[in-house]
Structure 1
Amino acid sequence: MIEYRTLRVALLGAGSVGSQVARLLLENREELAARSGADLQLVGIAVRNLDAKRDVELPRELYTTDAETLIVGADIVIELMGGIEPAKTYILQALNAGADVITGNKALLAEHGAEIFGAAEQVGAEVYYEAAVAAAIPIIRPLRDSLAGDNIKRILAIVNGSTNYILDRMDRFGDSMADAQKTAFELGFLEADPTLDVEGYDAAQKATLLASLAFHSSVPASGVHREGISQITPEQIQAAKDAGYVIKLLAIAERITDEDGTEGVSARVYPALVDRNHPLASVHGGNNAVFVEAEAAGPLMFYGAGAGGVQTASAILGDLVSAARRHVAGGPGLGESTHADLPLLPIGSVTTKYQISLLVTDRPGVLARIAGILSDGGVSVETVQQTVQPGEEDDATGTATLVIGTHAAREAALQATVEALTASEDTQAVVSVLRVEGAE
C-alpha cells in the first residue's frame, strides 16, 4: 500500500463553493491522493457563524470561527470567503507562514494582486486562482503553462454569465432590458443589486487578471476602461441583427501599439458587436467563454459554466492537486510574471470598427454632409442603413435613422467625430455608438 505524505488543508468559507469543495475533498480523498501524490487532510473550515444553514451537510467538528489558528500549521489554505477583508489579511498570514494559497477572489486579486503575489514570492509559496476568472473553465493554467512558449495577441472573453443571460434573452426572445433582468433575478443569475454585473465591474476585475497574465505586465484594475449594458435597448439589438451581429459584454485584453509607436496593453470592458459567425456569438444563457488569439497556436476558445458551486469547486480542486504536487516535488512556487512591464494604454489608443446610430432630419444632402463629417474626422464609412419616418402633412421634412458601419479607426478619432456629429444641425440625436470586436 502506498504511503502518502500528509498535507494539511485549511478552508476559509463554507458558502455555495466552499461547502462543495469540502464535500468533494472528503468524498474523493483517496482518488485525490493518487492524483497528487499526497494525502490531503481537511483540518478545518473557518466560518463566521457556526449555526448558519449550509448547502452541504459536513461534520460539525470541522467548523471553527478561529480562522487565524486554523491557518497556523496549514500547508495549503483555500480562501473562499470573498470580499477584501478579512480575506486579504488571512491570505497574507498564510503566505507569510509559508503556505500555498488557493483563491477564487477576483476582486481581491484585481485590487491587491501585486502585494499578494509579492508576499508569495518572498517566501517561495504560490498563489493559485483558476476559479477567479471563469469558474469551471480552465484558462489560467492554459495561459500560464500551455501557451507559455507562444505570444498572445488578444483575448476576447464573456466572463459574466448574468449579463450574457440578459443580452441573450433580448437577442433571442425579444425581451426588454427590464424583463430580461427580472427573469435573470428570478433564476438566480442576478443579485438584488445588479450593479456589479450589469455595469461591468465584475468583468473588469477579470479583465485585469487576464491582461496581467497574458502580457506579463502589471495591469491595475483602476486602468481598465469599463462600460456596462444598462443602456442597451431592443432597438440596438435589432440594428445589430440587421447588420449580422449580436451584442455581447466583452472583457478584452489586447497588445496594441499607440500612434506614437508605444507598445502596450489595452484592457477594457464594454458591450460590443460580434459577428454571428464568430464562436463567441453562439455562447448562450449564463455560460462563459474565453477566446484567445495566439501567434503560433492561432484562435482557441475555452467554453463552459462560468458560475455555480460544484462547477467552481472543480477549478479549486484542480488547483489543490497542482499545489499538492508542487509540495511533493519540492522547490519554490511559480511567481507572478511581469517581466514584459508593458504600459497600460488608454482607450483612445484602441483601433476597431464601429456602428453609429443617428437620428437626423430627412432633407436633401444630409447623408453627404454626415459622410463628410466622418471623413473629416478620419473615419471612413463601410455601410449605411437608412430608415425614413415621414413628417406631418404640413411639414416638408421627416426624421431618418442612419445606422453607419465604419472601417477600423482609432477610438480617439471616433470620439472626436461623434462630438462633431452631435453638433451638426442635421443631427437630432446620436442614439448609440457600439464597437465591433472579433473582426480581423
Structure 2
Amino acid sequence: MSALRIGVCGNGTVGGGTIELLRNQAALLSARSGRELVLTRIGARRDRDDCPALDVPVHRDLLEVAHAEDVDVLVESIGGTSLAKELVETALRSGKSVVTANKALVAEHGNELLALAEECNQSLLCEAAVAGGVPILKALRDGMAANSVSELSGIINGTGNFILTEMGAHQRSFDDVLTEAQALGYAEADPTFDVEGIDAAHKLSILAAMAFATPLNFPAVFCEGISAVTPADIQFADELGYRIKHLGIAKQHADGVELRVHPTLLPKDALLASVDGVLNAVRLQGDAAGETVYSGAGAGRFPTASAVVADLVDLARADTKPLHCLGVPVAKLEPQPILPMDAVSCAWYLRLEAEDRPGVMSQLASCLGAEGISIEALIQKPPKGAASTVPVVVLTNAAREDALRRAVSAIAALPGIDQPHCIRIESPN
C-alpha cells in the first residue's frame, strides 16, 4: 500500500510536536497502520527553534500545502478561525482529508466543514481538539458505539482546573493563582477563553454533538467562568463534603438537551472530584457500559500531537474510505432543542453575609420555601471580632434555575442580607 503523505500547517506547540512524533515513531506508526506515514510538506509563517528541521519543503504561504499534489492529508494546527477555515476548505476541495486540533474552528464552523468534507468524499477528524491526549472522541465514536449516551460531564480546561486546585490546596486568591498560571505557561496573557469557560464550551459542543448524534451548537452552550469563586467557597464546600470543579455538562432529556459550563460542587467521592492540576477528565453515562471515566493530559506538545497522529493512523488504515468525524453522516445528525437554563434543575450552594440577629435565618428559609426549595444543609459561622454580620452557607435540594433566581432576588431584598453568591451542585449517579 502506498504511503500516506502528510502536510503539516503550523509549527508551534502542536504542529511541532506532530512533526517530531512522525519522525521519531515512524517505524511504530508504519507497523500499526499498515503503511508509511510520510511528512512531505510543512506550512509555517515563521521558523521556530523548537520545531525539528526536516528535509522537506517549508511554505510561508500555507495554502500552497493545501494545493500540493504530494499531500494526501493536511494537518491544521495554526489556530484561529479565519485563515484556518480557508485552509481547511481549500484542502478538502483539493481532494485532501484534514486533521485539526482547532476546537474553536470545529465548534463554530464544524457543521459546514463536515458537510463539505462529505461532499468532497474526504475526512475531517479532530481528536486533538478536545482533552489533548485523552482519546475521548474515539471513545465516544468507537468504544461507546453500542451505547445511547444520556449524559457527560468533564473537566475539559486544564487552566481552570489548575487554578481551582491551587486555590483549594493553599487558600490562595483567584488573581494570585492566575498570575502563577500565566508564568508557568498554563494560561495565556489574555486568559478570558480559559477562565470564563469559552474554551470549555467549544469542547463541550463537540462532545455533545458526538454523544447525542446532533449538529454542533456552540452558541447554545451556557457559559459561566470561575473568577467569582473564592477561597472561602472552596473551604465551605470542603466542610460540607464537596470540591469545586469547573465542569462542562451535557444531558439528554425527552424534551431537549442541557449544554452548560460553570463552576460546580461535586461530592468528594465523585470520580471527577479527584482530578487535579492541569489534568482533564470526562465522565460518560451509557445505557450498556454504565459510567466510564477518561482522564489524562489535556494539553501540551506531545499529548495533543499524540491525538493528531492517532487521527492520521485512522486515516491510514481507512485508506480511501472517508471517516465520519461525529460517528454518523451529517445527514443523519438529528437537531435537538436546547433546554433554556431557566428549565434546568440542580441542587444549589448559596453563600451570603447576614446580620447576626434573631429571625434572619427564618426569613431566608421562608424565601426559599416560597419557591418550593428546601434546605439540605446550613453552616453559620460566628462573627469575627466586632463584625455585625456572619457568613452563612446554605445547600438546597434540587430546584429549577428560575425558581432559585426568584428566591435569591427575594433574599437579597431582605434587610441585613447581602446578595447571595450561588454555585450549582451535581451529584452523579
TM-score (norm. length: structure 2): 0.94
Instruction: Name the CA distance, whole Å, in 1 between partners of 2:396 and 2:2.
Output: 62
Structure 2 SS opposite 1:34: helix
* RMSD between aligned residues: 1.7
Larger displacement relative to structure 2 (296-305 or 62-71)? 62-71
User: In the TM superposition, what whole-angstrom CA distance separates every residue of 1:213-240 from its partner, at most 9, and x where no partner exists?
Assistant: 1111124211111111111111111111
1:360 corresponds to 2:354: yes
Instruction: Name the CA distance, whole Å, in 2 between partners of 1:331 and 1:317.
Output: 18
Contact 1:19 1:54 in 2 (8 A): no
Instruction: Name the CA distance, whole Å, in 2 between partners of 1:423 and 1:68.
Output: 60
1:430 corresponds to 2:412: no
Counterparts in 2 of 1:391 and 1:179: CA distance versus 1, 3 Å: closer
Instruction: Name the CA distance, whole Å, in 2 between partners of 1:439 and 1:301.
Output: 12
Provide the residue aligned with 2:372 in structure 1. 378
Instruction: Name the CA distance, whole Å, in 1 between partners of 2:116 and 2:139.
Output: 24
1:419 corresponds to 2:409: yes
Instruction: Name the CA distance, whole Å, in 1 between partners of 2:121 and 2:407.
Output: 52
Aligned residues: 423
Provide the residue aligned with 1:313 in structure 2. 305
- Mapping 1:367-406, distance limit 5 Å: 367-389=361-383, 398-406=388-396
Instruction: Name the CA distance, whole Å, in 2 between partners of 1:60 and 1:48.
Output: 17
Shift of 1:353: 0.7
The code of the aligned residue for 1:277 comes to: D
Provide the residue aligned with 2:214 in structure 1. 217
Structure 2 SS opposite 1:435: strand
User: In the TM superposition, what whole-angstrom CA distance separates every residue of 1:284-319 from its partner, at most 9, and x where no partner exists?
Assistant: 111111111222211111011011101111111110
User: In the TM superposition, what whole-angstrom CA distance separates every residue of 1:228-253 from its partner, at most 9, and x where no partner exists?
Assistant: 11111111111111111111111111
* Correspondent of 1:68 among 59, 63, 66: 63
Instruction: Name the CA distance, whole Å, in 1 between partners of 2:411 and 2:291.
Output: 37
Give 5+ residue unaligned stretches, structure 2.
Answer: none
1:269 corresponds to 2:272: no
Instruction: Name the CA distance, whole Å, in 1 between partners of 2:85 and 2:313.
Output: 23
Q: Percent identity?
A: 38
Contact 2:379 2:394 in 1 (8 A): yes
* Correspondent of 1:59 among 54, 59, 76: 54
Provide the residue aligned with 2:105 in structure 1. 108
Instruction: Name the CA distance, whole Å, in 2 between partners of 1:60 and 1:175.
Output: 49
Counterparts in 2 of 1:332 and 1:287: CA distance versus 1, 3 Å: closer
* Correspondent of 1:133 among 108, 111, 130: 130
Structure 2 SS opposite 1:116: helix
Provide the residue aligned with 1:159 in structure 2. 156
Instruction: Name the CA distance, whole Å, in 2 between partners of 1:390 and 1:56.
Output: 56
Structure 1 SS opposite 2:50: coil
Counterparts in 2 of 1:296 and 1:426: CA distance versus 1, 3 Å: farther
Contact 1:237 1:247 in 2 (8 A): yes
Instruction: Name the CA distance, whole Å, in 2 between partners of 1:333 and 1:279.
Output: 32
Shift of 1:98: 2.4
Instruction: Name the CA distance, whole Å, in 2 between partners of 1:324 and 1:354.
Output: 49
Instruction: Name the CA distance, whole Å, in 1 between partners of 2:181 and 2:322.
Output: 44
The code of the aligned residue for 2:53 comes to: L
Contact 2:19 2:52 in 1 (8 A): no
1:296 corresponds to 2:288: yes
Instruction: Name the CA distance, whole Å, in 1 between partners of 2:253 and 2:425.
Output: 16
Counterparts in 2 of 1:390 and 1:86: CA distance versus 1, 3 Å: closer
Counterparts in 2 of 1:269 and 1:335: CA distance versus 1, 3 Å: closer
Provide the residue aligned with 1:202 in structure 2. 199
Provide the residue aligned with 1:260 in structure 2. none
TM-score (norm. length: structure 1): 0.92
Shift of 1:189: 0.9
Give 5+ residue unaligned stretches, structure 1.
Answer: 258-262
* Correspondent of 1:99 among 96, 106, 113: 96
Contact 1:156 1:438 in 2 (8 A): no
Larger displacement relative to structure 2 (186-195 or 109-118)? 186-195
Counterparts in 2 of 1:23 and 1:88: CA distance versus 1, 3 Å: same
